[in-house]
Structure 1
């Protein structure tokens, strides 16, 4: 009886020591770097917005974005630690060189990562923004 108890105790201690040293999988969030361009040149000082999943609307019907950054001198805006899931990025602004309102947008899905390789690079090219005059 004592022998069975000792064997059980040894197996239990061995299991505790071995399995306590195992690393648990870590899920990393995504970093999304958006680069705004017009004719392959960076576009600075433009607001870049995003929302996750289905867009929320305010009482006027306008989309409510979850975060905004202004593009840097190299045209980039980086959104850090985005949880896995679908996102929509959009940027619009007045470009002096075209004398028009310009817009760029895209959708991306941030995926679960188990290593810290969770960076996404998105290039957005501006196109002329045409609003409907009929409302």
Structure 2
């Protein structure tokens, strides 16, 4: 059983090395959950295009031994989304990306924990 963050990260690395299929499932489920939460927390605005432009990349880092995905906004909206998130001199910050990170972290850690237990037979 995992007790601390360091042990969980060590077990996650073991999972990436020993059971790549389960590690990919864990990363995929965590990325989908985060993308869903990000789309829900993103302000809709007049056109609604910011919330509908949340995307998840394919798996990255395989040639370096990492299993990861990027979650964010597509190119048409990505360069503008930081204005409502961080604010301007005329608009106060809404901090929806930080809110999503804080909201999703425990949920994603729970997904990783379940997959570590299943993949490493702990």
Higher fraction of strand: 1
TM-score by length of 1: 0.25
Whose Rg is larger?
1
